[in-house]
C-alpha cells in the first residue's frame, strides 16, 4: 500500500501558521510569568536567613538553573515568534 499524502492549500497553511503563532504567544506569556516568579524567589532566597547552610546553596543553585532553562526556552519561543 502506497501512503497518500494530502496536499495543503494556502488557507490551510495560513491556518497552521496562525495556530503556531497563538501557541507560541501563549507559551511566551507563561514563560515570562515563570521567569518573573523565579527571579522573585531567587531574590527572596538571597535575602532570607537559611534554616541550614546547605539549604541556602540548594536554593541558589536550583533557582539559577531554573532561570537558565526558562530563559533559554523563552529565547527560542520568541525567536520562533519573530520568524
Q: What is the pLDDT of residues 48-62, one digit of tens each?
A: 887 777 777 888 899
Evaluate if residue 71 carries a pLDDT over 90.
yes
* Residue found under cell 506569556: 29
How confident is the model over 1-28, as pLDDT tens digits? 677 777 778 888 888 889 999 999 999 9
pLDDT confidence tier of residue 33, bands split at 50, 70 and 90 = very high
Look at residue 66 in the predicted model and tell me its pLDDT: 93
- Pick the residue with more confidence: 46 or 30? 30
Amino acid at each position: 500500500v502506497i501512503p497518500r499524502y494530502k496536499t495543503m492549500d494556502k488557507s490551510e497553511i495560513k491556518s497552521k501558521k496562525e495556530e503556531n503563532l497563538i501557541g507560541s504567544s501563549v507559551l511566551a506569556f507563561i514563560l515570562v510569568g515563570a521567569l518573573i516568579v523565579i527571579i522573585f524567589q531567587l531574590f527572596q532566597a538571597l535575602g532570607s536567613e537559611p534554616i541550614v547552610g546547605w539549604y541556602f546553596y540548594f536554593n541558589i543553585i536550583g533557582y539559577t538553573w531554573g532561570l537558565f532553562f526558562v530563559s533559554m526556552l523563552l529565547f527560542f519561543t520568541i525567536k520562533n515568534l519573530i520568524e
